[in-house]
Amino acid sequence: MRAVIELVNVRKVYRIGGEEVYAVNGVSMSVRKGEFLCIMGASGSGKTTLLSLMGCLDRPTSGKVLIDGIDTSSLSDRELTDIRRDKIGFVFQQYHLIPTLTAFENVELPMLLKGVPKAERERRAMELLEIMGIAKAANRKPSELSGGMQQRVAIARALANDPEILLCDEPTGNLDTKSGEVVMNLIEEQNERGVTVVLVTHDPDIAKYAERVVRIRDGKIVEDPGIKLG
């Protein structure tokens, strides 16, 4: 299987009060197409930073991030935006829906940014909301939706441009167990459809959904069944 995400000796350094902090310190790993990968670690372990690097939200201090075989270090801001828009879908712990837009419009937004025609946009948005089981809430604003529903809208939005990769940062972190289960089942369904899923969590119950769990501590991989560690 080919790798959709490949990290080669990736480092991310933050300067905090003149001191250099390695959020990610020499990580090399690859994510195969169609895989359901979970990155586990305590808070501050660098797992979210790692996800941001995979999602082209941030550039590594050193090392390489390849998405679909494309070396992202040489790409411009605009080209990175294109990759985020077309190849990657984000699901955040805080849902991050646009509060002024309805559920339906939130799902439409990535397609609008891509320039998808209105009719196609509307058809796809409705379809996704139906898949997520929240078609009835299409015209409600995020503030009128429960956390679980908001996260389902967020997943629908992440899938709008039919991305290859779904990056989820603690998607159930703010949800009760039941809503969390619904959300995880929806993500699993997408993985079964062929979407590569990378999920960051510290919750072992959530990690059970994944076929491969990578553990990270202090910015370094401490366990990865995909490769043999020294």
Residues that bind another protein (CB under 8 A): 52, 55, 57-58, 77-78, 81-82, 84-86, 90, 92, 96-101, 105, 108-110, 112-114, 157-158, 161
Helix (H) or strand (E) holding 155: helix 147-158
Residue with the two structure tokens 């990865």? 224
CB of 156 to another protein, least distance (A): 12
31 or 97: CB nearest another protein:
97
CB of 223 to another protein, least distance (A): 26
59 or 212: CB nearest another protein:
59
161 or 191: CB nearest another protein:
161
173 or 209: CB nearest another protein:
173
In angstroms, the CA 154 to CA 216 distance is: 26
CB of 169 to another protein, least distance (A): 10
114 or 193: CB nearest another protein:
114
In angstroms, the CA 160 to CA 127 distance is: 10
Residue with the two structure tokens 């929240």? 134
Tokens representing 224 are: 């990865």
Per DSSP, the three-state class of 181 is helix
CB of 97 to another protein, least distance (A): 8
CB of 78 to another protein, least distance (A): 6
Q: Can you give the three-state secondary structure of 58-112, one letter per residue?
A: CCCCEEEEEECCEEHHHCCHHHHHHHHHHHEEEECCCCCCCCCCCHHHHHHHHHH
